[in-house]
A and B are shown apart, each in its own frame.
Chain A
Amino acid sequence: MSAPRSALALALEGLRARRRRAVLSGLGIAVAAATLSVSVVIGYGLGTGFHRATAAAGLPDVIVRFDPQAAPRVAARIAALPDVARYALRLEVTNVGIGARGHQRGDAVAEVLDAPGTHQGYAVLSGHDLGDRGSDVLVEQGLASAWGLALGDPFYVDGLGPQRVVGFAEGPDDVGYPLGKPRFYLSRPAIDAQLGAQADPRVDLAEIWLRNPAYLSEVLVQARATSFGLHDIRFATRSGLRILIDQAAGIVIDLLVALSLIALMTAGVMLAVSARAEVQRRLGAIGVRRAVGATRAYLTVAHALEATLVALPAASLGVLLGGLATVAPAGRLETMLNEPAPRWALAGPLLLAWLAAVLIPSAGAAWPAWRAAGRPVARLLRGADVASSGAGATTRGGVPGSSPRLRGGLVALGARMVAARRARLAVTIATLGLSAAFVLLLLALASELSSLETDPGALGKRYALTAALPPSAAARVRRIPGVLAAAPRYEVQGADSFDLGETIDVIAYPGDHTTFEAPALVSGRRLRGGREAEVGAGLATALGLTEGSTLALALADGSELRLRVAGVVSSLDDDGRVAYIPASALLGPEPAAPSAIAVVLAPGADVSTVLAALTRLGAAPTPVSTAVGRGVPLVDVLRTILRAIAIVDGLVCLYALVQACALTVQERRPAVAVMRAGGGGVGAIVRLLAGAALAIVTPAAVIGVLLERGVLGPALSHLAESYATLPLGAGPAEILAVLAGLALVAAVAVVSVALDAAREPVIRGLAT
């Protein structure tokens, strides 16, 4: 037989002899591969989603929004800009009533294209684009999926009557339905053809593509300078859009990438450790083969082959299952973000994941075999360092003559047995501790996501209601039972004095605004003096503000306020173009600034009684909606994904524990057999293994909790702080849940391995 053929034969023989262990390793590899492929599908899909969308849709370099203007006037301004390759104009009509397939909404956004053509900043996913005639609409993919629309469906638009769906589109300049408002596209020439041409067609949005995007900032400066006469101008750049959209998914991507790395490491280490143990047990066989002339390379290849034969089907199964389980939710998430699914682009990364899941276990088996086969044959035949664990241990306790004792009985013995393999114990504890920490983090995140859904405070807004009452009514509102705090909240529109195009949402409270609104500080500190301001990150970026610089606010009546920037805060409102200032500063120049009473409720207060009391005071109270309020579906998808990860993570724990218990039983077969020969049944083995599992799970649980509360939780909170205040330290409920989960996993591992061990004939364990 040729050397490779005989190495394969040897590998197959090894597998046949150790079927159960092969299945166990296979399960471990499958779990690791599934984790990897889950992370690849979601991480790669979301990580590259914006890029894909940009490429597919031909997203413009700059999007400019302004008050509705005559199209020729806007065209003339754009023509004056340098380096413009092309542009497209549209009118964005909001709060349009639409209906299709029995659904209807009154808050849709109609994008009326001034001149339909190929470059409009969206991608047509199916059907065809808009033309100059016909009563056609293009519907955003997210809306189409949610409503179950098909091509050719009638689509009712208020003011236009029944239209026909001719295509589905994705425009990455905004998030899709249901995260955002329902959106659809219309052609102005086609509407004109239907209803007769308008005398003065207006547009309020221009998409601009540059010849060389490197000149973006110069073009922006020029555009601001020539914008005179256009009001309320806002620029959005590609990178700006990307930041906004990434914020929605960024936290998940980071989490997934970290998790998959840890899962891979864990799986790799576990597999390597078990491969090493396997080689240790077979030192004798390796020695015999060496003695009869087998080369080191031959034995190494045979061991690697054996591992590969297990890893190939296991990795394929794991990658396939992990991929299948996550493609759908990842796709839904991508549609919500108006990003196309990666489809075949996933093949490459998935293939890499599959390769890693095959190669790591193979290498993990080859390396110890290579090292072992390199030892002197005589030492191998004596079993060499197999029994080295006991050597050097000091003799303890047991004064001669005193009555002997066996502290802790079988449970303690089991603990001592796993502790004898120090390196493996450390690895298993680390694996379990990390997994526990991750599950804790996921649970904390899941509960925080729920509060994001319902609790405005999570996004920096602490007031739950506003009441349309004069500032003088604040004291009366404060006396309503269930109201913790109430104060007038002034809100006016301002502009930057130097750059009148930048509008700023100015918010002012008398006294400490953090009682009512405490958007997270990105840098600097809270405002203190009467002439200070906190500015939103969006505004700081647009105007180049940092702490210490001066914010020059032009107010509506023409007066100007100069304030020192104390800090930069994160805010999702108005793309972060907000400034928090003291009411005293605002009321000087503008004593009649519009205001409402912001109301913070006491914990556990009954909202309806407070609402009723406010109504009795003559107010029309409005509950606060948040940026995430409409993100319920996103939160749902995120929660589905988190749950999937938690389950996979639980499987990793189960695998690590089963592996540790099974290895203990395997290695201590004679000990277990002697115990059984002396009358020990399944109960005795369960006790022994319970001790082993306790020795692993107890420190792992401590490490897990400390790690989550001390490192992972704060790290993730820090990551998220640019858009939300998420206290991610796990609470007692989550810790209890994880402890219960660990106990359950340990019980399953202990009982299954014990039943398995009790099924083996006792005499097989005695024959060493």
Chain B
Amino acid sequence: MSVLEARSLVKTIGTGRALRTLLDGVSLSVGPGELVAVLGRSGSGKSTLLHLLGGLDHPDAGQISVAGEELTGRGRRRLPAIRMRHIGFVFQQFHLIDELTGAENVLLPTRLPGAPAGGARRAAELIERLGLEPVTAHRPHELSGGEQQRFALARALVNGPELILADEPTGSLDVENGDAVLGLLRDLPRRAVVIVTHEPDTAAIADRVLRLAGGQLLADGRGP
């Protein structure tokens, strides 16, 4: 059974003459342990697609289910709970919270109301596995870009989601750090990962590469 199942997503933006159909019948299925890369030019709607898949935005038509839970048609109250248990986000700009140390940033999702138990233990494991132990007590501005992104990744994983959504996770990193982060995403066991990016190099590590263009999501011809 697939972790992520999206069928015939339609998303339009703007109104009147400025109306544009950004996604026009996009379907996508990602299974456990699979890493899918979505390539596309800037402005093609990659971030928009990712937001829909993560339940941060609503499609105009189509259905999305994550780990067997239907996202579409859900009230505003239920969505956060689904995101908490099943979805982890990694952003291009990391978005670590200034006031918190790296480790505290990782712990933050475990302290949200309704978070699953055992968060502190998982946080410690993740920090160790991502090699962040020497800098746990550093504040974000005292961390390198790669370290910041690794903390952000740990934060996305700490509540044990089945689906990881990463929006240009290497966009703010140099090649070396970027590769390290991609390697980590690559090695997540049993998890479904969707990476959107405009860099073909990033897509090289994916099990499957898809291309978003003209509102359609198509298999990339050059894929492995």
Interface contact A420-B99, CB-CB below 8 Å = yes
Chain A 736-762 interface 0/1 with B at a Cβ cutoff of 8 Å (1 = within): 000000000000000000000010011
Q: Which residue of A lies closest to B86 (CB)?
A: A679
Q: A389-B98, A404-B124, A766-B95 are in contact. Are A675 and B108 (CB under 8 A)?
A: yes
Min Cβ gap B174→A in Å is 20
Q: A393-B139, A673-B95, A763-B51 are in contact. Are A404 and B123 (CB under 8 A)?
A: yes
B103 CB within 8 Å of chain A: yes
Interface contact A678-B101, CB-CB below 8 Å = no
Min Cβ gap A574→B in Å is 67
Find chain A residues with CB under 8 A from B111 CB: 406, 409-410
Chain A 416-454 interface 0/1 with B at a Cβ cutoff of 8 Å (1 = within): 110010000000000000000000000000000000000
Alpha-carbon distance between A171 and B36 when the two chains are bound, in angstroms: 93
Alpha-carbon distance between A403 and B136 when the two chains are bound, in angstroms: 10
Min Cβ gap A382→B in Å is 14
Alpha-carbon distance between A679 and B93 when the two chains are bound, in angstroms: 19
Interface contact A404-B120, CB-CB below 8 Å = yes
List CB contacts (< 8 Å) of A659-708 with chain B.
668, 670-671, 673-681, 683-684, 687
Chain B 52-71 interface 0/1 with A at a Cβ cutoff of 8 Å (1 = within): 00101100000000000000
A212 CB within 8 Å of chain B: no
Interface contact B112-A404, CB-CB below 8 Å = no
Min Cβ gap A680→B in Å is 5
Chain A 387-399 interface 0/1 with B at a Cβ cutoff of 8 Å (1 = within): 1011101011111
B209 CB within 8 Å of chain A: no
Alpha-carbon distance between A572 and B37 when the two chains are bound, in angstroms: 90
Alpha-carbon distance between A401 and B132 when the two chains are bound, in angstroms: 10
Find chain A residues with CB under 8 A from B120 CB: 403-405
Chain B 124-138 interface 0/1 with A at a Cβ cutoff of 8 Å (1 = within): 100100000111111
Interface contact A679-B80, CB-CB below 8 Å = yes
Interface contact B139-A410, CB-CB below 8 Å = no
Interface contact B112-A761, CB-CB below 8 Å = no
Q: A404-B107, A762-B56, A763-B51 are in contact. Are A390 and B136 (CB under 8 A)?
A: no
B83 CB within 8 Å of chain A: yes
B185 CB within 8 Å of chain A: no
Interface contact B108-A395, CB-CB below 8 Å = no
Question: In the complex, how many residue pairs between chain A and chain B have their CB atoms under 8 Å apart?
Answer: 131
Interface contact A413-B136, CB-CB below 8 Å = no
Find chain A residues with CB under 8 A from B138 CB: 395
Q: A420-B99, A763-B57 are in contact. Are A404 and B113 (CB under 8 A)?
A: no
B115 CB within 8 Å of chain A: yes
Find A395's partner among B101, B123, B155 (CB 8 Å cutoff). B101
Alpha-carbon distance between A684 and B114 when the two chains are bound, in angstroms: 10
Min Cβ gap B123→A in Å is 6
Alpha-carbon distance between A378 and B217 when the two chains are bound, in angstroms: 40
Q: Which residue of A lies closest to B120 (CB)?
A: A403
Interface contact B139-A413, CB-CB below 8 Å = no
Find B113's partner among A400, A403, A405, A687 (CB 8 Å cutoff). A687
Interface contact A398-B101, CB-CB below 8 Å = yes
Chain B 66-86 interface 0/1 with A at a Cβ cutoff of 8 Å (1 = within): 000000000011001111110
A768 CB within 8 Å of chain B: yes
Find chain A residues with CB under 8 A from B123 CB: 404
Interface contact A404-B108, CB-CB below 8 Å = no
List CB contacts (< 8 Å) of A356-407 with chain B.
387, 389-391, 393, 395-401, 403-406
Interface contact A420-B109, CB-CB below 8 Å = no
Find A400's partner among B110, B112, B137 (CB 8 Å cutoff). B137
Alpha-carbon distance between A398 and B99 when the two chains are bound, in angstroms: 14
Find chain A residues with CB under 8 A from B84 CB: 678-680
Find B104's partner among A404, A678, A762 (CB 8 Å cutoff). A404
Min Cβ gap A188→B in Å is 84
Find A681's partner among B80, B91, B99, B141 (CB 8 Å cutoff). B80
Min Cβ gap A768→B in Å is 6
Interface contact A404-B140, CB-CB below 8 Å = no
Find chain A residues with CB under 8 A from B88 CB: 678
Find chain A residues with CB under 8 A from B113 CB: 680-681, 683-684, 687
B197 CB within 8 Å of chain A: no
Interface contact B134-A678, CB-CB below 8 Å = no
Find chain A residues with CB under 8 A from B127 CB: 404
Find A387's partner among B98, B121, B155 (CB 8 Å cutoff). B98
Q: A406-B107, A673-B95, A674-B95 are in contact. Are A396 and B57 (CB under 8 A)?
A: no
Min Cβ gap A444→B in Å is 39
Find A390's partner among B51, B87, B99, B115 (CB 8 Å cutoff). B99
Find chain B residues with CB under 8 A from A677 CB: 54, 56, 83, 89
Interface contact A679-B81, CB-CB below 8 Å = yes
B142 CB within 8 Å of chain A: yes
Q: Which residue of A lies closest to B88 (CB)?
A: A678
Alpha-carbon distance between A495 and B73 when the two chains are bound, in angstroms: 95
Find chain A residues with CB under 8 A from B83 CB: 677-679
Min Cβ gap B100→A in Å is 7
Find chain B residues with CB under 8 A from A668 CB: 97
Alpha-carbon distance between A125 and B53 when the two chains are bound, in angstroms: 78
B173 CB within 8 Å of chain A: no
B193 CB within 8 Å of chain A: no
Alpha-carbon distance between A409 and B107 when the two chains are bound, in angstroms: 9
Find chain A residues with CB under 8 A from B98 CB: 387, 389-390, 420, 671
B10 CB within 8 Å of chain A: no
Alpha-carbon distance between A131 and B138 when the two chains are bound, in angstroms: 93
Q: A679-B81, A679-B85 are in contact. Are A416 and B99 (CB under 8 A)?
A: yes
Min Cβ gap A403→B in Å is 5
B106 CB within 8 Å of chain A: yes
Min Cβ gap B102→A in Å is 9
Alpha-carbon distance between A272 and B110 when the two chains are bound, in angstroms: 38
Interface contact A413-B97, CB-CB below 8 Å = yes
Find chain B residues with CB under 8 A from A405 CB: 107, 120
Find chain B residues with CB under 8 A from A671 CB: 95, 97-98
Identify which of B57, B115, B136 gathers the most chain A CB atoms within 10 Å of its CB: B136
Alpha-carbon distance between A316 and B27 when the two chains are bound, in angstroms: 57
B159 CB within 8 Å of chain A: yes
Min Cβ gap A34→B in Å is 36
Alpha-carbon distance between A395 and B139 when the two chains are bound, in angstroms: 7
Interface contact B103-A678, CB-CB below 8 Å = no
Find chain B residues with CB under 8 A from A670 CB: 93, 95
Min Cβ gap B128→A in Å is 9
Alpha-carbon distance between A674 and B83 when the two chains are bound, in angstroms: 11
Find chain A residues with CB under 8 A from B81 CB: 679, 681
Min Cβ gap A410→B in Å is 6
Min Cβ gap B107→A in Å is 4
Min Cβ gap A761→B in Å is 7
Q: Which residue of A lies closest to B121 (CB)?
A: A403
Min Cβ gap A685→B in Å is 10
Alpha-carbon distance between A420 and B140 when the two chains are bound, in angstroms: 15
Q: Which residue of B lies closest to A398 (CB)?
A: B137
Min Cβ gap B38→A in Å is 17
Alpha-carbon distance between A758 and B140 when the two chains are bound, in angstroms: 26
Identify which of B56, B81, B85, B138 gathers the most chain A CB atoms within 10 Å of its CB: B56
Q: A678-B84, A679-B81 are in contact. Are A406 and B104 (CB under 8 A)?
A: yes
Interface contact A398-B103, CB-CB below 8 Å = yes
Q: Which residue of A lies closest to B50 (CB)?
A: A763
Q: Which residue of B lies closest to A684 (CB)?
A: B112
Interface contact B112-A678, CB-CB below 8 Å = yes
Identify which of A395, A680, A758 gathers the most chain B CB atoms within 10 Å of its CB: A680
Find chain A residues with CB under 8 A from B76 CB: 758
**8 residue pairs bridging A and B, Cβ less than 8 Å apart:** A395-B138, A406-B103, A417-B99, A671-B98, A677-B56, A679-B80, A679-B159, A680-B113
Q: 6 closest pairs, A vs B, by CB?
A: A679-B84, A398-B137, A404-B103, A409-B111, A406-B107, A681-B80
| Known interface pairs A389-B98, A413-B97, A679-B81; 18 further A-B residue pairs with C-beta atoms within 8 A, sorted by A's residue number | A387-B98, A390-B99, A391-B141, A395-B101, A400-B135, A404-B106, A413-B108, A674-B91, A675-B109, A678-B88, A678-B108, A678-B159, A679-B85, A679-B109, A679-B114, A680-B113, A763-B51, A766-B95
